Amino acid sequence: MDDDDEFFDTISVNSSVSRRRFDNRDYLSLSRNTVYHSVVDLETMELTPLDQSEEGHSQNKVSRNRDVKTYKQWRDRQWRYFTNGELCVDFVLAYDKEGKPEDVSKRNQFEANLEAVGLILEKEENQRIHFVKIHVPREVLCQYAEILKLRLPIRYDGSEPPSKGLFYSTVNKLLDCCHVRLDPKLFPPKKYRLTAEFCRDKNYLFDVDSPDFFNQGVRIAVASYILERERYGPDDQDKGIKRLISEDIYKAAYPLHDGDLHEKGSNRVLLLNHWAQVTKWVKYQPIDEIKDYFGVKIALYFAWLGFYTHMLIPASVVGILCLIYAATILNSDILSHDICNLDIVMCPRCDKYCDYWKLNEGCLYAKIQHFIDNPATIFFAVFMSFWSILYLELWKRYSAEITHRWGLTGFDLQAEPPRPEYLIRLANAKKRKLNVVTNLDEPAVSFWKVKLPSLILSFTVALLWVLIALIVVFGIVIYRMSLITSEVLYKDKTSYRIYILPITAGIINLICIMILNIMYNKLATLLTEMELQRTQTEYDDSLALKIYMFQFVNYYSSIFYIAFLKGKFVGYPAKYNRIFGFRQEECNPGGCLMELTIQLAIIMIGKQAINAVTEMVVPLLMKMYKSFTIATGIQKASPEEEVIISCNQWTEDYKLSDFEAQSLFSEYLEMVLQYGFVTIFVTAFPLAPLFALINNVLEMRLDAKKFIKYFRRPVPQRVKNIGVWFPIMGILGRISVVSNAFIIAFSSHFIPKLVYIMEVNRFHTEEGFLEHSLAIFNTSDFANGTAPESSAFNVATCRYSEYRNPSDGSNGVKYKRPIIYWHILAARLAFIVAYQNIVSFVVTAVEWAIPDIPRRLNDQIKREAYMTNETIIKHEMERARKPKKSKNRDSVISGETVYFDANGGVHPDLADSSNRSTLYPDLENS
């Protein structure tokens, strides 16, 4: 290395004194306690040679390049480049300099294989943590862009795609007036580029020589793909960077952010300041810039989250209007008025220890419940059923547009390369299967002998945990039943049963939910590994299905219990239905909807609050801890141990948390669970869309800030859609129709009131409905030991909320069901059937009327395919007219496959170029 190419990189902390002169003043001594100085203070500092230390050792050299005079100039050249300042760092490997001899051997073997592929490596070994900087040259990019079947821009001078018409231009003008669109100076609109699948044989289609043809995302993806499939030892399983990290041979492997959090002009700072800020909540998201920086998979998540959040706006508005309507008719609500004013004595809430009570004690409860149980509830339930299907149909259209713009049209799951873990586990597999998409032989396993048994075992264990979640809910129900009998301790506090007991039970349920989630998530990951899923997408979908199946039961089972079971099979005072000797819980005479709302609000809002705090606090604490351990050297107790100096991007990024696949999975899971709350139980909680909207506005920006500030830059991944989450939401939409129909029919007073008005009341009004819905019980009919021991009331009869014959049997058999009960039950079932069929018919009509792909986009795709073919034919005809030249080059997908080394075809401990050519036959001639 020439002296002109040597730059000041790190400052040794082994010497007792380390001084520089700056403007004739002593400069800050960099010691173990002062390794972090302000970057802003160094922006204009002039770099001069270091003095001699007390021991007489020369300090680290400073660049002698006369063009580099200030720290900022040096930093711009050194921050994320090789020492020569010319080659950019595409990927970084980090390892501790202390290690076993066999670890050193494996690292050397692995790095030699990387160099044999064509990657350029440079080591930095002047700190405790050593770094291997990786640069992917253009030749390797061309080869692997073809192997990975990337769609890249082609040379085409044709016209732009047709404009979207008057409607879209009008909408854009309205958006400009609302100031929600992005600043075109900061995020200029991207020019339309026609793309095609990259092929080196058709290099005339692509402007390969353009400096920005392969963007940073492509460079990272290629580097990651090579790292995941290179060997480091003699065994077939000794393969891939993930396995090296799991064996602690390397500490980390990651691509670099394009600057630190203070570097003006970098995409990272641009996204941080103008996207990942809560103050920008009203602005659109720069989806294309997010895709360029994080990749399609993460960009598609934020695109979906933004679309879902915007769709929550009309749902929130309608929910608020329903509550306003309920407030305007509160004074005219006959049911709540009767509960508050009639002097009715109710039967005891528990055996022996509870006394009779006055119905007007639940006056406030009845008024609050009126906001949930009113005529607007029906309208809101129907509206949300239509909203859910409209949201899904519009998302399909929107996602089709953005994935086409990102060059994913025609992308097939089978074109996705196999997971490294899959190839490692099948390294010795004898069975091979031809991939009809890539035309490559891949290792495969028997479906009947291997995959099916593993799937059965996996989902059987998942079902076992579902039963555990149900047992926990059952235990909480028993807890509620047992506490009712202790109400004598709170006999002067009516709010105990109505408010305190449901709230405490809801909090206990939330705590149990979070604990079970932590335990099950780890188990689900192990189960999914057993299934031998070929690609990362298949693996993620299988994991998502198992976890969501459990989460569905874990979060929703207690709510389903209150909505559909509580108070439905209680019995009557003379003969209560008991569980373990406890009386079942009864609903308040006003109904169970209020308690359902309390439970739903606690779980939904509590879960969102806990997740928001966890997602932001945990990464921040992890970064602080890693920075502290790195700065103080407590990871290595030796006092003369070197520490990391933050003088470049790779040391800065090393402090950040690794972005794992589970990171994005947990974000999807949280939002889809929220979607279930918004749709399935929205009848009981009209404000659910509003709370979801507020949460998502914050969630979107906080997730963005978390990914930018506290996580390393992820490897870009290609996906065509949001995966298994879309069909899950489709199933939730169907469930919500049935659920809301049952809640309206059995948990509200809508059907009983309707039957009473039509059949019982001769004036067809609600007058007398409360008296009609309360049965009469003769206190002399109490079973032995169940009547109150001491009572402040001297009554011969009490009332309870049921449809039963009176104690004198004047209308039939004593305490049996009257005919009106069966009329109401028939009306409830008829309502469910009618509601479900009407909504399903409208939903089917909407699905048929709205195509999945807009006609304009469909025409554009056909036009692009035609133009690409015409361009290829034109150039092929020109080439055919020219004299042929001899060319010795194998096809990328001919000869040995890219999976040849995974199939055991070459001995891995031979790392010289002659042997590597069998693994990568195109490298010699590319």
The two tokens of residue 380 are 């809101």
Range in 175-189, 207-221, 342-356, 492-506 the model is least confident about? 492-506
Q: What's residue 186's pLDDT?
A: 87
Residue-wise pLDDT for 115-172, tens only, equals 999 999 999 887 778 899 999 999 999 999 888 888 888 876 555 555 565 656 666 6
Residue-wise pLDDT for 502-519, tens only, equals 677 778 877 888 888 888
Q: What's residue 897's pLDDT?
A: 39
Q: At residue 641, does pLDDT exceed 90?
A: no
Q: How far apart are CA 413 and CA 784, in angstroms?
A: 69
Using CB atoms within 10 Å of the CB of residue 721, give its burial: 0 to 12 exposed, 13 to 18 middle, 19+ buried. middle
Residue-wise pLDDT for 269-304, tens only, equals 999 999 988 888 888 899 999 999 999 999 999 999
Residue-wise pLDDT for 160-194, tens only, equals 555 565 656 666 666 666 677 788 888 888 777 77
Please, what is the Cα angle at 825 between 822 and 830, to 5 degrees? 125
Q: What's residue 600's pLDDT?
A: 82
Residue-wise pLDDT for 823-869, tens only, equals 999 999 999 999 988 888 888 888 888 888 888 888 888 888 888 88
Beta bridge partners of 498: none
Q: What's residue 485's pLDDT?
A: 55
Q: At residue 815, does pLDDT exceed 90?
A: no
- Angle, helices 216-229 vs 138-147, to 10°: value is 70
Task: Provide the H-helix boundaries in 3-123.
Answer: 39-42, 71-78, 101-117
Q: Taking a C-beta distance cutoff of 8 angstroms, is the pair 451, 445 a contact?
A: yes
Residues 758, 763, 766, 770: is their CA dihedral positive or negative?
A: negative
Neighbours of 740 (CB within 10 A): 28
Q: At residue 31, does pLDDT exceed 90?
A: no
Using CB atoms within 10 Å of the CB of residue 95, give its burial: 0 to 12 exposed, 13 to 18 middle, 19+ buried. buried
Q: How far apart are CA 276 and CA 285, in angstroms?
A: 9
Q: What's residue 304's pLDDT?
A: 95
Q: At residue 706, does pLDDT exceed 80?
A: yes
Q: At residue 427, does pLDDT exceed 50?
A: yes
Q: What pLDDT band is residue 71 in, cutting at 50, 70 and 90?
A: very low
Sheet containing 129-135: give its strands across.
120-124, 129-135, 91-96, 252-254
Q: How high does pLDDT run on average in the chain? A: 76
For residue 791, the SS3 value is coil
Q: Taking a C-beta distance cutoff of 8 angstroms, is the pair 153, 206 a contact?
A: yes
Element housing 152 (H / E): strand 151-153
Q: How far apart are CA 785 and CA 732, in angstroms?
A: 47
Beta bridge partners of 196: 152
Q: How far apart are CA 776 and CA 802, in angstroms?
A: 9
Q: At residue 64, does pLDDT exceed 50?
A: no
Q: At residue 810, does pLDDT exceed 50?
A: yes
Residue-wise pLDDT for 391-419, tens only, equals 999 999 999 888 888 888 766 655 566 77
Q: What's residue 843's pLDDT?
A: 82
Specify the residue for token string 């040679």. 49
The two tokens of residue 222 are 């290629």
Higher pLDDT, 407 or 107: 107
Q: What pLDDT band is residue 894 in, cutting at 50, 70 and 90?
A: very low
Pick from 909, 904, 907, 918: which is nearest to 105 by CA? 909
Model confidence, pTM: 0.78
- How much of the chain exceeds pLDDT 70, in percent? 74
Average pLDDT rounded to a whole number, residues 196-222: 85
Q: How far apart are CA 323 and CA 373, in angstroms?
A: 10
- How much of the chain exceeds pLDDT 90, in percent? 17
Q: What pLDDT band is residue 443 in, cutting at 50, 70 and 90?
A: low
Q: At residue 197, does pLDDT exceed 90?
A: no
Range in 73-87, 671-685, 883-897, 904-918 the model is least confident about? 904-918
Domain ranges of the chain: 87-154+195-256, 295-416+447-754+834-850
Q: Taking a C-beta distance cutoff of 8 angstroms, is the pair 214, 137 a contact?
A: no
Q: How far apart are CA 833 and CA 826, in angstroms?
A: 11
Q: What's residue 877's pLDDT?
A: 83
Q: At residue 759, does pLDDT exceed 80?
A: yes
Average pLDDT rounded to a whole number, residues 769-796: 87
Q: At residue 437, does pLDDT exceed 60?
A: no
- By DSSP bridging, strand 129-135 and strand 345-346 are unpaired
Higher pLDDT, 101 or 695: 695
Q: How far apart are CA 379 and CA 388, in angstroms?
A: 14
Q: At residue 25, does pLDDT exceed 60?
A: no
Q: At residue 788, does pLDDT exceed 80?
A: yes
